[in-house]
Structure 1
């Protein structure tokens, strides 16, 4: 079995079959070549002009802060979310678990007076069978359109372990969602392309495409530097601020997207929490640094005026969340209280 789920870290397990990965990438070599050619022209140009695009006015805290909650983490999340005062929640709905759609709906319905974003998580069957995808998306849209008008289509599209082998597969996937929306659910807003980490060549490949599609809002899983502060840099100049600047520039330049950006997943892995941490031990940080970096991250993103919302991933998760639930105990960590204070204050 190529795709297995790690219930400790809430993500797919790494695919260790190198021959399989090489075969799948070779299958789409032309797609990757197109991505490379686009990127060598678009990314340098966007970098040169990114500072010329000015952000918008800062949003209210109730609009900006968001949090990820999961069905499998239980109803304890309802009171915890209310205690924090967070108004925006992201809930994953797995296409592989479509038979339990009623459980997801019941869970989401329990969060009263919250703005819900549904993240539709792909599986390989739906990527390969677009008719199956259409049927399952219609079930999801029909069920949740009474609660929300926002749906993130896909997640971590640049990680083979999540199911997509190339940008083309994702664009075909998204096209099914958009066509269905345009035909039967015209009021819905679709978020994409959900690229994880600072791999903006995948943003270029998907945001500058030749299909008759458009992303209503940009979703990004922007993990900046898990070994340190959001002020740390990659490739010389790209700290969190400049990664946001570049992403915003791409959204402004793209004819296939709006300039409204949601960061729909980010966090820091916590030291000494294996196997719950989503990374290796060397990439984990202390509770003190986690809290500090979390506050820095939100402050930078909010002050940029270029990010409409940040969803911290997630409320309950021993390896990277705000609450530890090991041994059937609910332990509110220091970052829980720091998050609560942050979203109920304005930055100076």
Structure 2
């Protein structure tokens, strides 16, 4: 089978496409024919040794995929050969075959295609954990989503609307904001051409948002946090901007606000039952049409470096996938 390999840390161009032996599952594992693998921002960081998780070299990058079970190892009880599944693993997705523990696999409804399924687990899992679990967003509240046209941002917009909240989407171009409106945003802010604090003030009648979802970090974090409402919850999801902001803690005091960390990777390991229940709710929302995974571009395995460069340079709206 063919796989993308990271033999040394570096930019996407340093990755190699290699032919490896077919994968054999161990105890509690399944081998899966990968039909689609989602590309996420952490994938860019992992191959450059800039992420908190540091796999041993050499490794196959990619952590989120969907496909068909091709073989099962000892002690596998729930999954069978031929079943359609989505999985989230530490690595191994950018290949024709991948290994996953049975616990990391979620059987797929027949009416969800592989590309959409590959786009669900990390983006929607992260956003559900952030918005529902950590942010406790309620119907009638207002949520501001920064980086709203990206994979996790767009998922947050849809989840906010599924919960009955008012959602304000902030992004960096009219095209991205149009996409946010298509996916349910009630109002939008172009933070490259508008004053973020002033627009938040106008759109919330001076009250500020109840929840701020921030997967970006960087220069917009502090003005957003200064605008948060009383008892607001500021969700720290990631730092796609590359800069970790230093928020003045007196702002939290003055607003009675909470700065809430969101780490979905640890959540699914420490609280697997909660994570599984969240994905079941997401599948239900997809079936009801309240959530629509948005795959904007598909790449071949040979185009993996291009996909990662597009992600790194923020030329991506919604989700992109590699189809081996």
Greater helix proportion:
1
Is the pair's TM-score, using the shorter chain for normalization, greater than 0.5? no
